[in-house]
Amino acid sequence: MKRVLLTCEDYFPHIGGAEVCVYNLRRELRALGYGVTVFTNTTKTTDDEDGVMRLGWSLSPRSLVAHLRMLWKLIGTCDIVHCQYSFRIAAIAGVIARLRGKPMLLSQQGKGIVPEAGSTFLNSLLIKICQHVSMRSATHLTATSDEIFDLTAAFVPREKITLVSNGYDAKIFSPNPSLPVPAEFLSVPSGTKKILSVRRLVPKNGIHIFVQALAIVKKIRSDFHYFAIGEGRVEGFIKELIKEFGLENNVTLLGKRGNETLPSYYQHADLVVVPSSAEARSIACIEAMGMGKPIIASRVGGLIDLLGSDSRYGELVKIYDSEACTYGPPDRLSAERLQPLVDAIIGFLQDPVLLQEKAEKARLHVREHCSWEGITKEYVGIYEGLLLPHAGSNPLP
């Protein structure tokens, strides 16, 4: 039985794209007969801890030594190391993998490769060191979007990188009219369009920008109610905006919801929005596509890859200055800058048919190309190439 060590700074119960990727890879790899261990810096536990090793991180020599010891031991017992992000763990694991003669695959999902806004000098220096060490130590790399691919290619040869999408659970995130209507949805008047986002409330996810656009929409149409699932550090600012614009009857912050509840929210929503300023390959967007939901998203990064540069699978809207990802969007945008987003929302409220037609195409597209089962098989193909006897730094065709 081949053994894989999956690493990620954050892991469940913290939920994000890389965390969901590791969780599903762990499940699918085990189904294929692989032995899998997960190593993470998230110390809070869940009910499913089989094979999960947790060790907190602090910027201290003691923490570094503890990581060196644990990763030396774990890498010694595995056949391949698969790290998420070119960050702390990947840098340490990459060096140890080289010393122990084990192949290391590094998957780029955004963190550590997309510049972070507002970083301290010390954190920026740490990121740069981790970038260089992890990427130059990796035997092979994957990128989840064209933009991330190009950013990674600034550090290593392009032939050393493979484009591999994020995925979704096609068994769970598929249309199912029998799913119960969420209680919060039952409280809105009949005929009201229910708009949904499933995003952490952090700056790069743009929920604060979307609320500002809704303030303009409400001056024209008020037959909508926006439900935001997620929590995060800009929640207070978003609540201030809701009060400032008088949106208390049109916007509800639902807070965190369990993954098992999400299909019901998607099923009974009329529109899903992804107004992020940075996305590698949004799993939440893929899940919404799998549910056959109309989508309005910002024209940035991996969202362009997902919905098509010609918006064939949803409506891409230019909200930010650049199509390149940024973790530092503005706190506010002018009415002029918000107008394309406003127009897209009003256009859907007036005539949802076009977006619904795109949603059906999107559902078929992700079902064929983005199931975790299929994505895992892509990774297994890379693993097998890396495990070939005498495989070099570029063993893949």
Burial 149-177 (b: 16+ CB within 10 A, else e): bebbeebbeeebbbebbbbbbbeebbeee
100-114, 159-173, 236-250, 341-355: range with lowest mean pLDDT: 100-114
Across residues 379-396, what is the average pLDDT?
A: 76
Q: Identify whether the C-beta of residue 317 lies closer than 8 Å to the C-beta of residue 296.
A: yes
Q: What is the pLDDT of residues 309-320, one digit of tens each?
A: 999 999 999 999
Rounded to whole angstroms, how far apart are CA atoms 366 and 143?
18
Question: 391: pLDDT confidence band, cut at 50, 70 and 90?
Answer: low
Whether residue 215 sits in one domain with residue 163: no
> Which pLDDT score is estimated for 394?
46
Looking at every residue in the chain, the average pLDDT score rounds to 94
In this structure, are strands 80-84 and 52-54 parallel, antiparallel, or unpaired? unpaired
Is pLDDT above 50 for 397? no
Q: How many CB atoms lie within 10 A of CB 374?
A: 15
Q: Which residue has the higher pLDDT, 280 or 75?
A: 75
Is pLDDT above 60 for 7? yes
Residue 245 φ then ψ, to 5°: -95, 5
Rounded to whole angstroms, how far apart are CA atoms 329 and 309?
22
Whether residue 61 sits in one domain with residue 194: no
Residue 178 located in a structural domain: no
- State how many domains the chain has: 2
Residue 391 located in a structural domain: no
Rounded to whole angstroms, how far apart are CA atoms 139 and 393?
5
Whether residue 118 sits in one domain with residue 190: no
Whether residue 335 sits in one domain with residue 191: yes
Tell me which amino acid residue 87 is. F
Residue 173 located in a structural domain: no
Is pLDDT above 50 for 393? no
How many CA atoms lie within 13 Å of 318's alpha carbon, on the beta-carbon side? 7
Q: What is the pLDDT of residues 10-50, one digit of tens each?
A: 999 988 889 999 999 999 999 999 999 999 999 999 999 99
Q: Identify whether the C-beta of residue 108 lies closer than 8 Å to the C-beta of residue 21.
A: no
Residue 160 located in a structural domain: yes
Residues 6+ away with beta carbon under 8 Å from 122 = 59
Q: What is the pLDDT of residues 86-139, one digit of tens each?
A: 999 999 999 999 999 999 999 998 877 887 766 788 888 888 999 999 999 999
CA 144 to chain centre: 10
Whether residue 201 sits in one domain with residue 114: no
Is pLDDT above 60 for 396? no
> Which pLDDT score is estimated for 110?
80
Residue 221 sits in a domain whose CATH number is: 3.40.50.2000
Whether residue 94 sits in one domain with residue 229: no
Whether residue 193 sits in one domain with residue 161: no
Across residues 204-222, what is the average pLDDT?
A: 97
Residue 107 located in a structural domain: yes
Residue 397 located in a structural domain: no
Whether residue 215 sits in one domain with residue 297: yes
Q: Name the maximum alpha-carbon separation found in the chain.
A: 66
Whether residue 227 sits in one domain with residue 150: no
Whether residue 343 sits in one domain with residue 380: no
> Which pLDDT score is estimated for 111?
77
Whether residue 253 sits in one domain with residue 238: yes
Residue 284 located in a structural domain: yes
Q: Identify whether the C-beta of residue 228 lies closer than 8 Å to the C-beta of residue 253.
A: yes
Whether residue 190 sits in one domain with residue 136: no
Domain of 65, in residue numbers: 3-167+371-386
Across residues 70-93, what is the average pLDDT?
A: 97
Residue 106 located in a structural domain: yes
> Which pLDDT score is estimated for 59?
87
Region at 230 (left for phi over 0; alpha for psi -120 to 50; beta for the rest): left
Across residues 343-352, what is the average pLDDT?
A: 97
Is pLDDT above 50 for 342? yes
Q: Identify whether the C-beta of residue 352 lies closer than 8 Å to the C-beta of residue 270.
A: yes
Which one, of 336, 307, 328, 295, lies nearest residue 208 by Cα?
A: 328
Burial 224-243 (b: 16+ CB within 10 A, else e): bbbbbbbeeebbeebeebbe
